[in-house]
């Protein structure tokens, strides 16, 4: 049986609203059906990850609230390894954001079989929300959730457009993170040692 884990890191304010009471309901340990292995189980890491990215693209393309979606990280930069995670981004209109966030678990299940989901509200105070995930096939990564007003805060560096209904990403260049920002993010991921 699959299990959903919710964040213990919920700050007083979410990225899209100032009222803590606006937080969407979080399903404290809700279970997903896990009675059948997905057809993509057993693929090597890169094949499973690229398959998950394609399923994410299809889910975003078919979702009425998603305005744009893109791929970032090592897969967008062309440096992915066998064990690399996937970094995917979904963008809605500001007025659709709360509804999309409230339905985030169903959206995740529309393109994968999640065995772990963790909400991170207002990621590192940068003004966007994130879902950390692991799928039954071993694919893991982050889904950053943004809207048209915080688009430039949700990513830094190269990206690959997956869906762009309104030309929102036309000509967009996401600036790279500064060294200190990169070190801070790396410490979160366990990749960079803290300076002494």
The number of CA neighbours under 13 Å toward the Cβ of 13 is 9
Residue with tokens 């709360």: 98
Contact 14, 23 (CB under 8 A): yes
The residues spanned by each domain of the chain are 2-189
Which residue(s) pair with 28 in the sheet?
none
* Rg for the chain, CA atoms, rounded: 16
User: pLDDT tens track of the chain, all 196 residues?
Assistant: 333 333 333 333 444 443 333 444 333 333 333 333 344 444 566 889 999 999 999 999 999 999 999 999 999 999 998 889 999 999 999 999 999 999 999 999 999 999 999 999 999 999 999 999 999 999 999 999 999 999 999 999 999 999 999 999 999 999 886 545 444 444 444 333 323 2
Which residue(s) pair with 105 in the sheet?
none
**pLDDT at residue 178 in the model:** 59
Please give the Cα distance from 5 to 27 (Å, whole number).
9
Please give the Cα distance from 187 to 41 (Å, whole number).
31
* CA 182-188-193 angle, 5° bins: 75
In 3D, which of 175, 165, 159, 142 has the Cα closest to residue 60? 165
CATH for 2-189 is: 3.30.460.10
């Amino acid at each position: 049986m699959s299990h959903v884990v919710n964040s213990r890191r919920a700050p007083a304010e979410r990225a899209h609203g100032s009222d803590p009471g606006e937080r969407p309901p979080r399903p404290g340990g809700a279970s997903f059906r896990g009675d059948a292995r997905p057809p993509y189980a057993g693929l090597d890491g890169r094949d499973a990850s690229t398959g998950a990215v394609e399923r994410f693209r299809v889910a975003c393309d078919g979702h009425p609230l998603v305005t744009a979606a893109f791929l970032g990280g090592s897969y967008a930069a062309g440096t992915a390894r066998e064990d690399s995670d996937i970094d995917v981004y979904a963008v809605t209109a500001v007025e659709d954001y709360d509804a999309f966030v409230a339905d985030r678990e169903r959206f995740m299940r529309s393109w994968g079989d999640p065995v772990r989901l963790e909400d991170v509200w207002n990621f590192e105070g940068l003004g966007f929300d994130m879902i950390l995930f692991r799928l039954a096939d071993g694919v893991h990564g982050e889904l950053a959730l943004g809207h048209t007003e915080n688009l430039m805060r949700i990513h830094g560096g190269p990206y690959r457009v997956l869906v762009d209904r309104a030309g929102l990403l036309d000509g967009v260049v996401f600036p790279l993170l500064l060294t200190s920002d990169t070190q801070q993010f790396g410490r979160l991921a366990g990749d960079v040692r803290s300076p002494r």
